[in-house]
Amino acid sequence: MGHPNAGKSSVVATLTENDRIAIDKRAGTTTTTDEYPVIIDGRPVMMFVDTPGFQNPSDILEWFQAHADEPDLAGAFVAAHGDDPMFSHDCALLRPVAEGAGIILVVDGSKRIKEKDRTEMELLRLTARPRMAILNNLSNISKHMPAWQDALNKSFNSVREFNAHRATYAERLALLGALKAIDQRWEPMLDETIRAFRDDWSRRIEASADTIIQLMKDALTKRVTRIVKVDDIKSDDQREAIQRQLTEALQQALRQLEVEAQQDIRGHFRHNVWDLPATSLLAKDLFSEEVEEALGLRQRQLAMAGAAAGAVSGGAIDLGLGGLAFGTVALIGGVVGGALGVLGGAALAKLDIQRTLGVERFSLGPVTNSRFPFVLLDRVILYAARAMNWAHGRQAADEQAPNRVPDKELGRKRGFTESLTPDDHRTLAKFFAAARKGKEDTPHEEQSREIIINILRGLSTSDLDARIGL
């Protein structure tokens, strides 16, 4: 409950992980009293009821005061006004309370308290139902918060600050935990809900790690091929053009794999509305310089990890020319070293050209570039971090990301793999090397999965806005 535009629907959206609830900056968005279950393991464990807010709070308060000896004021009010069209909204609002629901009042703590607010607090107190107040803060003005705390503490069993746009998983759990304090009878149900939430969260993290491992394996075995009749290749320019097409095709295939993995992860964390500002690293092209600079390992880390894993590709252009023996090596080398598929001075993948029976078979892949898998891994973890921490009530809010010093100026990367230990780097590099060869279920794969799970667990609680550049 609460004023129009206090953020009621946003709180419900965040707590129930439902980003399809109508939320808008205009007041009066919610026009009916709607039920939103919290579903865990396909089972509704509790229900939130979103409301349009009081229409005639002073009339209700007056009636409550005149009938103060009624044991169940909400029920009595509904019984007395159920047929009165003037009060149909207020009855819809009080009906769940009459039926036993607890009350959560949502207020915008960035605004000054008005008389109407005091009226609502008082009438909710008179219902004598278990009640909690949530201090939302819509515009980051905190000077009125202490006054709200004082006023709310007088009429509510519990008063909590909760930011519907920024609340993390941990804060959602804490709020559910706090609901226990307002009515002891709810304790077993809430304990079960919280337990189910925790288990579910672990499962989502594991499912995301599986998605990520699979992405790495798919990306590192991807190969694109083209067969052309020798007679159709009349010049080196044509050979160059084919190579260019193959590089574009390989990049496109890798982008597609990333998109599919992202969709999976989004699904694990129940996000449907998903807009990224153009400034987000996640909105940039996977093969852009910006992404490569911000993510992945530093040169020295890469060299050490690569040496341990017997990396296929160092700083030089790696050109396989299996079976090919004519004078285009320099040319092809030149092409690969140009604008095409180069990451950190090394080609993305090996080009292989074989000539048999009047045809030339061009194939590019799998990726041999040692930087690329770390960049890809960092980016998909970044994506998971956003999926885990983007409150559902925030939807596609177009607010500005907080100002921060560009990481470039700080001279640091913004990914996650960089901060891992050299041991972990080696493990990952060995997993990548094995994946490239199509090996399944190696010990390094299992260890890499654990590394990823640990990173994801660590991301569940921190405020990542600044880091991700949302």
Ligand X SMILES: Nc1nc2c(ncn2[C@@H]2O[C@H](COP(=O)(O)OP(=O)(O)OP(=O)(O)O)[C@@H](O)[C@H]2O)c(=O)[nH]1
Binding site for ligand X (CB under 6 A): 2, 4-10, 23-25, 27-30, 52-53, 136, 138, 163-165, 397, 399
Is 381:351 a contact under the CB 8 Å cutoff?
no
Residue number, 14 or 30, with CB nearest to Mg ion: 30
Q: How far apart are CA 163 and CA 394, in angstroms?
A: 10
Select the binding partner of residue 397 from ligand X, Mg ion, none (C-beta < 5 to 8 A, by kind). ligand X
Q: Rounded distance, CA 393 to CA 136, Å?
A: 12
Return the number of the residue (23 or 455) whose C-beta is nearest ligand X. 23
CB of 396 to ligand X, least distance (A): 10
| Short-list 184, 267, 215, CA closest to 376 | 215
Q: Which does 43 bind (CB under 5 to 8 A by kind): Mg ion, ligand X, none?
A: none
Nearest-approach distance from CB 35 to ligand X, in angstroms: 15
With respect to ligand X, which residue has the nearer C-beta, 40 or 101? 101
* Residue 356: other Cβ atoms inside 10 A: 10
Both tokens of 151, joined, read: 């006023």
- State CA 307 to chain mean position distance: 34
Contact by Cβ (8 Å): 20, 272: yes
Nearer to ligand X, 36 or 362 (CB): 36
Q: Which is nearer to ligand X, 25 or 300 (CB)?
A: 25
Q: Pick from Mg ion, ligand X, none: which does 89 bind, CB < 5 to 8 A by kind?
A: none
Which window, 30-38, 150-158, 223-231, 438-446, contacts Mg ion (CB under 5 A)? 30-38
Nearest to 404 by CA among 281, 267, 275: 281
Give every CB contact of residue 304 below 8 A, 6+ residues apart in sequence. Answer: 422, 425, 426
Closest distance to ligand X from the beta carbon of 75 (Å): 24
DSSP notation for 186-245: GHHHHHHHHHHHHHHHHHHHHHHHHHHHHHHHHHHH--EEEEEEGGG--SHHHHHHHHHH
Minimum CB separation of residue 397 from ligand X in Å reads: 5
State the minimum distance, in angstroms, from the CB of residue 175 to ligand X.
13
Closer Cβ to ligand X, 313 or 395, answer by number: 395
Tell me the number of residues near Mg ion by CB under 5 A. 4
Shortest distance in whole angstroms from residue 36 CB to ligand X: 12
Between CA 244 and CA 226 the distance in angstroms is 12
Selected binder of Mg ion within 14, 16, 18, 30 (CB under 5 A): 30
Q: Which of residues 23 and 104 has its CB atom nearest to ligand X in the complex?
A: 23
Contacted entry of Mg ion, ligand X, none for residue 303, CB cut-off 5 to 8 Å set by kind: none
Closest distance of CB 30 from Mg ion, Å? 3
Nearer to Mg ion, 50 or 318 (CB): 50
The nearest distance, CB 77 to ligand X, in angstroms, is 21
Quick one: what does residue 53 bind among ligand X, Mg ion, none, with the CB cut-off 5 to 8 Å set by partner type?
ligand X
Q: Which residues contact 173 (CB under 8 A, 6 or more apart)?
A: 194, 197, 198
CA distances from 422 to 309, 383, 416 (A): 12, 24, 13
**Closer CB to Mg ion, 373 or 393, in the complex:** 393
**Is the peptide bond preceding residue 44 cis, with omega within 30 degrees of 0?**
no
29 near Mg ion (CB under 5 A): yes
In whole angstroms, the minimum distance from the beta carbon of 23 to ligand X comes to 4
Subset of 4-23 contacting Mg ion (CB under 5 A) = 8-9
Measured distance CA(457)–CA(388) in Å, rounded: 10
Nearer to ligand X, 30 or 119 (CB): 30
Task: State in angstroms the smallest separation of the CB of 167 from ligand X.
Answer: 8
The residues, any chain, with a CB within 8 Å of residue 184's CB and separated by 6 or more, are: none
Q: What is the DSSP letter of 416?
A: S
Contacts 24+ apart (CB under 8 A), 281-284: 281/379, 281/382, 281/414, 281/468, 281/469, 282/379, 282/382, 282/383, 282/386, 282/468
Q: Does 243 bind Mg ion (CB under 5 A)?
A: no
Distance of CA 321 to the CA centre of its chain: 43
Q: Does 251 bind Mg ion (CB under 5 A)?
A: no
Residues that bind Mg ion (CB under 5 A): 8-9, 29-30
